[in-house]
Amino acid sequence: MLFNSWIFLFAYLPVTLAGFFILGRRSELCAAAWLAAASLFFYAYWDYRYLPLLLGSVVFNYGCAAWLAASVPARRKWILAAAIAANLGLLAYYKYAGFFVSSLAQLLDQPLPVLHVILPVGISFFTFTQIAFLVDTCKGMARESRFVHYLLFVTYFPHLIAGPVLHHKEMMPQFADRRTFRLSAGNIAIGSTIFFIGLAKKVLIADNIGAYSAPLFDDPEAPSLLIAWAGVLAYAFQLYFDFSGYSDMAIGLSRLFGVRLPLNFASPYKARNIAQFWRRWHMTLSRFLRDYLYIPLGGKRCGPLRRYCNLMITMVLGGLWHGAGWNFIVWGALHGAYLAIHKGWCAFTRRFHLPADTRAGNAMAILLTFTAVCLAWVFFRAPDMPTALTIIKGMAGRFGLALPDALAPHLLPLQPLLASMGIDYYLGGGTLFIETWTWIAVAALITFALPNTQQIMRRFDPALDFQAGGERWLTWRASPGWAAAIAVLALASMLALNRPAEFLYFQF
């Protein structure tokens, strides 16, 4: 079931909300059980055959957590290691078995049986959520004796499919708070506003601009400079608004139930360096990789060389988390190299006391970071390495620079200059060229010039870990003007729901 579908908006969500608050008047436990059951139905609606897999994972990890809590410290490490191995083994089978077999067949140059394993939606998110819970339980930082609350913690439908990755300490106190189970007009107004802003990002921007990126990645055919960059930028903004939209919708839906989710997306394209980018993009995954992989590997405690190796290992594994393929490994390795270069540059500037905070310098830093991220997105999106390398060559101008011939009559005064620059023309494509760059310009304007959703809702504590700052204009308030604006946005979004498209992060 998709958030951006009629059945979710006009059947599932109203029934789930009504049942939750009606039962909440009588029993918090019954309301929690209702919401957990509704979340399981939400998951089973996609494919009921994988519901036993989700339930089995929940029961197994709940039992392991109880075993860990009751064991002496000497045995906990062994129990934790076995439980994590079982979780990762399940994830590896569904996500990487096919990739491993195909890679082995290529290495051995021998045909091997092809594995057709369907990736259960959300398996990465509920697996990582439970691994974090097991680690915290082993350290004595978490403990949960109520199975219904643990089931709700893992399966809670706003986060189940594409995150955020939750921490027990963030969610369980909210599920235990009686105020959560009381209907609040404030939560309904705030939650619905955040939700409809996210829905608009998805159906009005991401789904429309995505149509202009697909042709490049499906069949690059030696793209010229502007065509290559247009396709890559279109995908960069498609992914941005798709994931930002999902994150907003998840936070908004959860707020309807009186529960605040952790912030997972905070204008990452405005980042001035790659480290800041990863503190703003998929923030809960970055937190998980830092706390449960990078720091246990030694973090920055073992000298510069070891630190760079730890960064590279963490980001390569982060790339593999997103998908089974060499292109995801390259994407992760690129980001590992970016982070290593950034850390080295920071050390250099500190040593020689170089100025690091000027308006022009910040603008250049944002542009450089955005360009590096777009370059890496090519490997993230491309179906294979040859396609990615062809697009990279096009972005570098390897296949020349060409414009649609429909633009030639409008550029007559510039013809000598264009000819001296080696700019050629190709037949057709004028309308597509203009539409693509218009969408890119609109998306860039919204991304870089406007405040994000959390900043718009800054007065109302929109999400966990939100820190008010940055743009302070365009601030939401309970007023007729804002109500009318959100109503128009909601109506426009609903009119675009004829063909609901999946969120891009569903495939990860």
Our measurement of the distance from residue 22's CA atom to the centroid of its chain's CA atoms, rounded to an integer in Å, reads: 33
Among residues 149, 159, 282, 322, the one annotated as catalytic is 322
As beta bridge partners, residue 410 has: none
Tokens 């200059």, residue located: 417
The count of C-alpha atoms lying within 13 angstroms of the C-alpha of 397, restricted to the half-sphere facing its C-beta, is 5
Tokens describing residue 470: 């940055």
Backbone phi, psi, residue 262, to 5°: -70, 150
Task: Give the H/E segment covering residue 95.
Answer: helix 73-108
Contacts of 323 (CB under 8 A, 6+ apart): 95, 507, 508
Q: How far apart are CA 50 and CA 46, in angstroms?
A: 9
The count of C-alpha atoms lying within 13 angstroms of the C-alpha of 91, restricted to the half-sphere facing its C-beta, is 22
Q: What angle do CA 465, 468, 474 make, to 5 degrees?
A: 130
Contacts of 461 (CB under 8 A, 6+ apart): 260
DSSP 8-state symbol, 402: E
| Residue 322 bears catalytic tag | yes
Greatest Cα pair distance, the chain, in angstroms, is 82
- Classify the phi-psi angles of 140: left when phi > 0, otherwise alpha if psi is within -120 to 50, otherwise beta: left
Task: Give the H/E segment covering residue 426.
Answer: strand 423-426
Report whether 377 contacts 284 (CB < 8 A).
Answer: no
Q: How far apart are CA 287 and CA 170, in angstroms?
A: 13
Q: How far apart are CA 73 and CA 487, in angstroms?
A: 56
Q: How far apart are CA 464 and CA 296, in angstroms?
A: 25
Catalytic residues: 322
